[in-house]
Amino acid sequence: MGAICLQDHSDKLQSVVIDAQEKGAEITARGSFGHLAEGAVDQFFPPTVIKNVNHSMKLMQDETFGPIMPIMKFSTDEEVIKLANDSRFGLGCGVFSGSQRRAKEIASQIHCGNAAINDFATSYMCQSLPFGGVKDSGFGRFGGVEGLRDCCLVKSVVEDRWWPHIKTMIPKPIRYPVADNGFTFQESLVEALYGLSIWDRLRALVNVLKIMSEQNSSSTKRRSD
């Protein structure tokens, strides 16, 4: 553990550790390089455990992608959920607990695309599951049904399937040119469809029918004139 593809990234890892130390963090354990060829050290970073970190440190705000384990203390489940969500990233999480129920409850409240209970990143190995992040960790998914759908172009097609003489059309009050009571009609129509109670919906439906009746009467009168 500790091999880094690019020297620049190794330098970045060291910089976030130094930043954390300058702000009060403490390294509690660190690995060693062992026997490496000359010139290879710059592309290795020793596994590092660091405590007393907080969210003012780059280590807790950036994606490090390196063998660094920061440790934060917490007192309650609510606090640890808040700490975990205090990030602009949300790719995945691993929740470890002696209680499976407790771990699942915490995982359900962490804003991320993947979660593992008493394990880490195992969802990536399950190719039947969608994989992807939220927030600044990206959007979209690969793997699973959702991943296949992301490769598709979806088209919606709507047609009248009822009796031949019943067709959907724009109601007269909101047909161009929009009538004076067009807004009232639209407001009542939405209330009739999505009202909080059956009485709100019925009252709105009566108003919709009343406006429609008035509109039809007005149209009939204009034609007769």
pLDDT digits (tens, 9 = 90+) for 146-157: 888 888 898 998
pLDDT in tens, 107-121: 999 999 999 999 988
Band of pLDDT at residue 35, cut at 50, 70 and 90: low
This prediction has a pTM of: 0.65
Closest CA to 26 of 51, 54, 57, 60: 51
pLDDT of residue 51: 96
Last residue of a domain, one of 24, 50, 73: 73
Which of 16, 42, 73 lies at the terminal end of a domain, its last residue? Answer: 73
Cis geometry, peptide bond prior to residue 177 (ω within 30 degrees of 0): yes
Does residue 73 have a pLDDT over 90?
yes
Look up tokens 């606090």; give the residue. Answer: 79
Tell me which residue has tokens 């109601």: 171
- Statement to judge: residues 60 and 86 lie in one domain: no
Edge-to-edge order in the sheet of strand 68-71:
26-30, 48-51, 68-71
User: What percentage of the chain exceeds 90 in pLDDT?
Assistant: 56
Do residue 25 and residue 43 come from a single domain?
A: yes
Whether the predicted pLDDT of 225 surpasses 60: no
| 10 shares its domain with 68 | yes
Q: Is residue 64 part of a domain?
A: yes
Range from 7-16, 74-83, 192-201 carrying the lowest mean pLDDT? 7-16
Does 51 lie in the same domain as 95?
no
- How many domains in the chain? 3
Both 40 and 97 in one domain: the answer is no
**Domain around 105:** 76-152
